[in-house]
């Protein structure tokens, strides 16, 4: 089957409307997704004191309804460290709810 454009102006207007609608829908979708993600992530910075462990920091600053092991993992991931690399005086980021 061959298609032939009879009215070029009408075709261009149609394509423009389709592109604008698609762009509008996608921008609304991505703004809803990005605003939802940014609301969830609240971060505080904590200075590590001598004798502090990630386990203790997770118990103090982490959410009560979350497993402490997950909170420790999240702290390590957020800061790019291992539990053995924690040093006093270090500033670490902790996600709070």
User: What pLDDT is attached to residue 70?
Assistant: 92
Nearest alpha carbon to residue 93 among 50, 57, 53: 57
Per-residue CA distances from 32 to 19, 29, 40, 43, 97 (Å): 20, 5, 13, 21, 20
Which CATH class name applies to 41-96?
alpha beta
Domain boundaries of the chain, sorted by first residue:
1-40, 41-96
- Alpha carbon distance 10, 83 (integer Å): 65
Nearest alpha carbon to residue 69 among 77, 31, 10, 24: 77
43-93, pLDDT tens digit by residue? 889 999 999 999 999 899 888 888 999 999 999 999 999 888 889 999 999
């Amino acid at each position: 089957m061959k298609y032939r454009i009879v009215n070029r102006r009408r075709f261009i207007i149609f394509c423009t409307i389709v592109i604008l609608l698609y762009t509008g829908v996608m921008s609304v979708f991505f703004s809803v997704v990005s605003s939802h993600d940014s609301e969830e992530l609240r971060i505080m910075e904590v200075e590590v004191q001598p004798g502090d462990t990630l386990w203790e920091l997770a118990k103090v600053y982490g959410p009560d309804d979350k497993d402490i092991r997950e909170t420790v993992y999240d702290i390590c991931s957020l800061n790019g460290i291992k539990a053995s690399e924690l040093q006093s005086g270090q500033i670490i980021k902790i996600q709070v709810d």
